[in-house]
Every structure is written in structure tokens, then in C-alpha cells.
Chain A
Amino acid sequence: MTRELAAAVLRRLGQAVLTALVASTLVWALLPLAPGDPVLRLMEARHILEPNDLQIANLRAELALDQPLPLQYANWLARAVRGDLSISYRTGRPVLEEISERLPATMMLLGTALAASILLSLVLALVAVAWRDRWPDRLILLYTQIGAAIPTFVFALLVLQYVIVGAGIGRVLPQGSLALVLLPALTVAVDRAAGWTQLLRASLIEAGNANHALVARARGASRWHVIWHHALPNGILPFLTAIGVSIGALIGGAPIIEEIFTWPGLGRYVLQALSARDYPVIQGFVLLSGLSYVAASLAVDLVAMMLYPRLRKSS
């Protein structure tokens, strides 16, 4: 039993490492594809405005850019693993340093938003199923329809205008602290939970119609007993999977949310990098997002494996 679990975990871990490696090639390919000579831009970033041929040749050799592409990739990967993500074209500082300064604010925002959306959709879906086809369910269905039709950034603009500026709650220029994370995070959560509630409600209903649940109901089990012991344990798997997939969208949505709430995180920094064509920074962001996405999918799958022994079988 435990050996089966250990084997499944190891298999999944190996898969995650492979995925991360594949993602890294895709991320690496951004730089050779980008226009302009990286060596010249790096020289500029180091304040060497008119480099001589020797300097250029030296740097090119140092970065292995005079080698064939596979070797360039190997060199890049070796440096990336050691934490060397090159330097920002704009500021000349190491990309890793610049990113790690802004990462905590973003992680706080996305983490709070994620926790709040999971909690919100769980509660709403359970309420909707418990009072199915009555007014709480209708109301929640209406919320999911409306929420799914308002893009997060539009909802954020509305919150900024009517809650923060209009009602004077919160701060227009938050400095990224825990005390001020609640409003931006809740904004993301309320919008994101709409889709998850819809999904969880549907799978709870389907699981609640399974034969064992029907038998339980026929034998006089209460509504909450059936939901708690039959529908929820069997219906939560699609919800977990959806969370894993949505984490990618959550990370990809960070720039626009941080831009609207002037949140001092990684997302806004990437937008500045985009307009300055600061490729190493963009690359660093994409690499970090890809790795977080791989890690999140891994975490979700491991949780699912803990909960559902049948997922441990090798396919």
C-alpha cells in the first residue's frame, strides 16, 4: 500500500522534473528568437557604450553565444540552475535579485487570492447543492454566470472605482503589505471563484446522484450527511484538477491585477520590462511562472493521490 504510494509519488516527481526541463527549453528559446544582439545590449547595461571587438568577443565566449544552439542551451541551463539568470538590460542588476525583491508581494497577493477563492467556491457550491433549485442555488448560479462574464481586470477596475475610491475602503496606492492585501486578493477571488463554484456544484450533483448516495438517502440519511460523506469525497476531484490548471491563469493574470491596484510586485515589474524590451527579465518571469505552474500541478496531483488510492496505479 505505502510502497505503491511511494512509487506513484516518485513517478510523478520524475514527470514533473521532465516537464520543468521541457519548459526550460521553451523559455530559453525566447532569447535566441528575440531581435537584437544580446551581447551589445549586455554591454550597454554594463555601461560600456562603445565596446571594442575584443570585449565583444570575450563576452560572447563567456556566454557561449559563439557555440552551436544546443551548447548555448546547456550553458544557459547550467547558469540558470546556479541562479544566474543574466542581468537586466535596463538596470544592469542580476535578474534573480530584481525578481526576488518583488516576489514576496506577488506571492502574498496570489496566495491570499488562491486561498480565498478555494474557500469561497467550496462554501458556495455546498450551499448551492444543499438548497438545490431553491433561492440560494438560483442566486449562486446567477453569481457564477455574472462572474464568468466579467474579466478579472474589469471587475478590479469596478472595485477600485466604487469600493476604494467611492466608499473610501482600502488604499489606492498599497505598498504591498499584508494589511492591504485583502482587497486586491478578494477581488481576484470573487471573480475566479465563479467558475470553480459552477464546476464543483455540477460535480457534487453528479456524485450525489451515484447509487451509493441514492441508497444512503433511501435509508434515511440526512441531506448534509449525503453531501458530506457521499457527494463531497467523490465529487471534489475535478475541482482539485481545475485548481491546478487555474494556477497558471492566476500567475498569468498577476501583471494586470498588480497594474490596476498599483501592487509593487513582480507582475508590474514585468510590464515595465516588456515596454523596455528587457528580455532577460521577461525570460526570468516566464521561467519562474513555468516552474511555479509545474510545482502547483505536482502539488495538486500529490494531494489527489493521497485522497484517491486508485490514482496511484501506474497507467
Chain B
Amino acid sequence: MNMLDRFASVARPAPPTHDTVHWRRLWPRLLRHRGFCIGLVLGLALLGLAAIGPFIAPYEPNWPDYAAALRAPEPAHWLGTDATGRDVLARILDGAHRSIGAAVFVLATIFAIGLVVGAVAGMAGGVVDTVLMRLVDVMMTLPGLVLAFAILGILGPGFFNLLLALVVADWAYYARLARSLTLSARTRPDVIAARMAGIGWGRILLGHILPGVALQLAVVATLGIGGMISAISGFSFLGLGVQPPYAEWGAMLAESRFYFPIAPWLLLVPAGSIFIAVLSANLIGNGLRDVLEAKGRT
């Protein structure tokens, strides 16, 4: 029995023990992680461009100019123009707000819902826990993408409806994760010590349990951003998300689909933007996970 336990602890990664996170100590480790740095640079560059884009772009993203339709990349239009003469660079920068911003917004919402539901279920236990977790079970019987299709089918296409559908389709997973993290945090030595010292559950929750749970959940949410950008651009490609004339990377691919053979930049530029955005989100997420896991083991 003892032997088995010993081997089991070798095989499985030890549960993370960090009760508080010192960012000042974490930063140097993160900056030594090559993937994280590449992702951070790419991500900051993209966000920076998106932020200053509207001020420096010489063209309105939604204004057609039929005299300049389907121009290949040239000094006047760095990334060319689409079939109605709209500047691709201006639309990419404008679309970044929707593509990336929406993904971050959806995951932040899911993170908040998941954290609250999971922490409440994990702390309350009993009937509350059972009811909340059965609800989570119900939501997880259908694959997330299929559920999102179903919700869009009822609500009809549209950017807000898409975001709503993605939140409804995905929150349950985060709630379940937050609950199990809360449950394991409750048996941690510092929580038991605090409990024995007579500190109330409210303070323990805020001071000991939530910070760790929130951090681990945030790492998972970061790892989900790439997939969320893909999902939002995919649904927009199908015409179920961002509606014309507004720019979004997936929607840009859809509206130019039939011009790809004669105007490959209309394919390569949005595709490249999606690739860079998802790549940088993945690299940042993987870096965070690697560093925090390494910290949890020591």
C-alpha cells in the first residue's frame, strides 16, 4: 500500500501548492520561456497595431472605391484592396477589434461565470452543489460547437448572438473545473490552518482559495483564446457572426472567397492574421502553463 502510494505520487504531477502568486518572481521565469516571449511580442505587436490602426490608416475600412478594386499590394494600398476597392490593411486592423476583442470578451465572461458558479458549488456543497453540477452536466451532453449552432439557429445570425452562443456553449466546462480546483484547495494545509485559527470561510475564500483557483482558471482561459478566435472567425465565415459591411477576419475571407484565384492576397492576409493571433495566444497560454506547472512542482 505504501509502495503503491509512493509510486502513484511519482507518476502523477503534484497538485499545485502555490497559495499566493508573486508576479515579481514569476516574471523572470516567464521572460526566460522562449515561446512565451515570442507569443508576447507577436500579441503586443498585433494589439498595438489594432489600437493605433484607426488613427494612422489612410482609408475608411468600410468605404468602397470601385475605381481601385482588386489592386494587388502596392505603395498606395500596402495589402491591396478587395473586390469593392476597400483597403485590406484598414479592414484587417478594424477587424482585429472584433476578432481578438470578441474572443477575449467571451473568455472573460466565461471565466467570470465559471469562477462564480464553480466556487459557489465547491464551497456550498450539498443541494446547491448538486443542482449547479447537474446543470453543468446537462450543458455538457452536447458538443460545444453543435450547441452554438443550435443557439444561433434560434436567435438568428449576428455578432452579439454569436458571442452569447459561445458563452452558453462553453461556460459549463470552466464551472466544473473551478469547482474541482476549489474542492482541492479546501483541503490544502494553509486553508486548514486558517480554519483552525478561527478565520471565517468568507475570508478564507477570498484570501486563500479564490486567488489560486482564479489563476489556474485564467491559465486555462488563456489557452482557450486561440480556439475562440478560430471559432468566431469560423462562424463569421459562415455568415452567422459579424454581418457586412463590418470587417472581421473570417467574414473577410467569406466575402472574397471567389476572388482568391485572381487576388491571392485576399486569402493570405486574413489567413495570416488569424494564424498570428492564434499562434501568439497559444504561445502565451503554453508559456503560462509551463511556468506555473514548474512552480507547482517545486
Contacts and interface: CB of A to CB of B under 8 A. Distances in A.
Nearest to B260: A161
Interface string B193-229: 0000000000000000000000000000000001001
Interface stretch (B57-65, B74-82, B271-279): B271-279
A251 B137 CA distance: 20
Contact of B142 (A149, A277, A293): A293
Contact of A252 (B149, B154, B274): B149
Given A26-B138, A145-B282, A271 B238 contact: yes
A124 interface: no
How many of chain A's residues touch chain B, expressed as a range? 35 or more
Contacts of B147: 26, 286
B237 A153 contact: yes
Interface stretch (A17-25, A37-45, A128-136): A17-25
Contact of A274 (B146, B226, B240, B267): B240
Contacts of A248: 142-146
Interface residues of B, number: 44
Given A274-B149, A282-B150, A211 B260 contact: no
Given A145-B279, A157-B267, A290-B146, A30 B260 contact: no
B141 A211 contact: no
Interface in B1-28: 7, 10-11
A249 B143 contact: yes
Interface string A143-159: 00110111111100110
Most buried by A among B239, B240, B271: B271
Max chain B Cβ within 10 angstroms of own Cβ: one of A27, A154, A290, A293: A154
Interface stretch (A80-88, A101-109, A253-261): A253-261
A157 B253 contact: yes
Contacts of B150: 27, 30, 282-283, 286
B234 A289 contact: no
A270 interface: yes
B144 A252 contact: yes
Interface in B140-180: 141-150, 152-154, 156-157
Contacts of B126: none
A256 B236 CA distance: 11
Contact of B274 (A33, A154, A273, A285): A154
Contact of B282 (A19, A149, A259): A149
Interface string B254-297: 00010011001001000100110011001100000000000000
Contacts of A165: 260-261
Ranked 5 nearest A-B pairs via Cβ: A252-B145, A248-B143, A151-B230, A149-B279, A23-B141
Interface of A: 19-20, 22-23, 25-27, 30, 33-35, 145-146, 148-154, 157-158, 161, 165, 206, 210-211, 247-249, 251-253, 255-256, 259, 270-271, 273-275, 277, 279, 282-283, 285-286, 289-290, 293-294
14 contacts: A145-B283, A150-B271, A153-B233, A154-B230, A157-B253, A157-B257, A210-B11, A251-B145, A252-B146, A274-B153, A279-B154, A285-B146, A286-B150, A290-B146
